[in-house]
Amino acid sequence: MKRRRLTTLLAAAVLALLPTTTAQAEPTYPDPQPLTGQQIIHDPTIIRLRSGGYVAYSTGGVLGARLSKDLRHWDDAGNAFAEPPSWWYEYNDSGDPWAPDISYRAGRYWLYYAVSSWGTNHSAIGVATSRSGLPGTWTDHGKVLTSETTDSWNAIDPALVQADGRLWMSFGSYWTGIRMVELNPRTGKAAQGAPVHHLATRPDAPYAVEGPYIVKHGRYYYLFASYDQCCAGVNSTYKIRVGRSTTVTGPYMDSEGKPLLEGGGDLLLAGHGRYVGTGGQSVFRARDGQDWLAYHYYDAEGEGTPKLGLNRLSWTSTGWPKAF
C-alpha cells in the first residue's frame, strides 16, 4: 500500500513539472511604417530613381503616380499617362489599367500593366518605356501578352524578373493562379512560341491567388503572392504568402515543403487591427541596400480607404523573408 501511494505521489510530481497545454498564440504582424502626404494607393510598385528619390505607380487614374525623397513623405504626382492608349478600350469601357510593375534595364525604365474587366479573363498586359521613369514621360508599346475566355489563365498582374541572363514575367489571377512566360529582352514582349509555365494555385475554386512578385535572394527565387479576396474595403481578406525555388520556373515550395501548386505558401503578412486586407505587393531595394515590401491595406479607421503599406524585409538564418 505504501509502495502504491509512493508511486502515485511520484507520478503526480512528474506531471506537475510538465508544461501545461495552452491555446496556440495568434500570430502577430508588424504595422506599416508611419507615412505622411498622399497615402492613398492600390497595387503599388516602387523603384529608386537614378536621378534620386523614389516613384510609386499604382492602380487608379491612368496609373497613378507618387513621388518621395525618403520613403516617408509621398506627394501626388499625377499619372503615368495623360490619357489611355486607344487599344485599352478593347478590354474595358473606361480604359482603366491595373496593377503596374516598374523595372530598369538597358538604359530605360519599363512599366508593365494590365487592362481587363472585373470577372473576366479577356485581358491584356501592356508595356511602356521611359528614360526618366517620371510620370508623363512614358511611351506605350502595346500588348505584351493576352488571354481570352477560352484560356485557363488570366493575363493580369505582371511582374518582371531576370534569371541566368533571361527575362521572365510572372502574372495571373484566379483562373488556375500564377503563371510565367519568357520575354524577348529587346522588345520586352512575350518571346515567340514561349510556353506558359504554372507556378502556384489553390486546390479549390475560385483558385484565389494573384499578384505574383519574384525576387532572387541567395540561391533561391522567392515568389510572393496575394491570397484570398481583394477590393472589398474592410471586408477584404487579402494576405501575402511566399514560397521559394532554386529555379525561376519552379517548382516553388513553402518552408514545410508543400508545393505552391498544391495550395502551399508561408504566411508573411495578414490583416491586423486597422490594417485590413494586406496585399497587391511588390519588393524593391532602397538606396542603402535595404529590401522593402510595398503593399496596400484598407484602413479600418479611415472608411476602408486603400493606403500604402511599407515594411522592411529581413532574411532569416534559413533564408526566409520576414517583414518588420
* Stated length of the chain: 324
Strands 73-79 and 36-37: parallel
Query: Does residue 43 carry a catalytic annotation?
Result: yes
Omega before 206 within 30 of 0, i.e. cis: yes
Is 210 assigned a catalytic role?
A: yes
| Phi and psi, residue 3, nearest 5° | -65, -40
- Rounded CA-CA distance 55/122 in Å is 30
Identified catalytic residue from 96, 101, 157, 210: 210
CA gap 8, 135 in Å, rounded: 78
Contact 246, 255 (CB under 8 A): no
Centre a 10 Å sphere on the Cβ of residue 231 and count the other Cβ atoms it contains: 17
Residues with Cβ within 8 Å of residue 208, at least 6 apart in sequence: 174, 202, 227, 228, 229
Q: Pick from 272, 202, 269: which is nearest to 242 by CA? A: 269
Residue in 43, 140, 182, 266 annotated catalytic: 43
Residue 90 DSSP symbol: G
- Candidates 260, 271, 284; CA nearest to 230 is 271
Catalytic residue ranges: 43, 210
